[in-house]
């Protein structure tokens, strides 16, 4: 997530990733793993990497024109 580009979009993607890490177990595990791997700025680095992962999910869903459905079967 380069700092060039739309700063508002970047902000909201990071906020969404923060909520995803709190609610979705796959993203919680990913965040925890990246938090442990980071040398410094643990939370920020793990959150940015989680946001980058979530962008793949969003782009894939938009490309296939599918709504997001969790694995829980709610």
Range(s) of the domain holding residue 21: 7-41
In a domain, 1, yes or no: no
Could you tell me which residue, 48 or 3, shows the higher pLDDT? 48
Spatial distance between the Cα atoms of 39 and 20, rounded to a whole number of angstroms:
23
Q: Is residue 2 part of a domain?
A: no
Q: What is the pTM (predicted TM-score) of this model?
A: 0.81
pLDDT in tens, 39-72: 999 999 999 999 999 999 889 999 999 887 777 6
Judge whether 29 lies within some domain: yes
Domain assignment present for 52? no
Whether residue 46 is contained in a domain is answered as no
3-state secondary structure of 73: coil
Q: How many domains does the chain have?
A: 1
Residue with tokens 């700092």: 3
């Amino acid at each position: 997530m380069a700092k060039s580009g739309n700063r508002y979009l970047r902000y909201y993607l990071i906020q969404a990733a923060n909520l995803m890490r709190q609610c979705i177990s796959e993203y919680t595990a990913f965040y925890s793993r990246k938090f442990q791997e980071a040398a410094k700025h643990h939370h920020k680095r793990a959150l940015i990497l989680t946001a980058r992962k979530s962008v793949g999910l969003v782009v894939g869903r938009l490309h296939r024109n599918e709504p997001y459905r969790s694995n829980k079967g709610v």
